[in-house]
Structure formats: C-alpha cells, structure tokens
Amino acid sequence: MTTPNELRLLPWSGPEGKPCFLSTDEQGGYMSRLADNVEAVQLGTAAELLEEASETLSDRDVAPDEMRRLAKELSGALRDVLRVATSRGHLLAVVEPHP
C-alpha cells in the first residue's frame, strides 16, 4: 500500500535489530500480504497478553518469576505494536496527505 518511492516499515527487524523496509508499487504483492499477516498475528498476540496481564495483576500470589516473564513478553509485544502503529501511521500520512 505504498506509493511509488515510499517505503513501508515491515513488522520485523533485520540484522542487528535494524528496521526493514519494503519498496514496491505492487499493491497486494506477496511481501505486502506477508507483512499484513505478521502484523495481524502481532496485534492478536498483544491482545492476548493484555488479557493475561489483567488476570495476573489481580492475583496477589503471583510468583516473581511469572511477573518477570509476563513483563518480558509484554515488552516484546509493545515493541511490535509500536512498529505496526508507526508503519500504519506513516501509510495514513501518505494516503491521506494533510491539506
């Protein structure tokens, strides 16, 4: 969904954690569909972790190791969701330019 000469931030990192970008004017191409599917999985995982966090935080007997595991998973999910939001926000700015 990029316009010519626009790059799409992909929902995964490259070597050394560097961002990956897609340059294509082909809408609905293989890499665009793959990125869309990965983003959907990442958002679904974040929603599930949020539900788990709500339940875990209401349990006063949660072990510290369980809280650390949950915090680590939430951090990863937040990083993924932020990347999706950044990518989609950029796409919106390209598709719907400000007057």
pLDDT of residue 94: 56
The residue that leads in pLDDT, 25 or 41, is 41
pLDDT at 19 exceeding the cut of 80: yes
Contacts of 14 (CB under 8 A, 6+ apart): 20
Question: 2-11, 25-34, 46-55, 71-80: lowest mean pLDDT where?
Answer: 2-11
pTM: 0.75
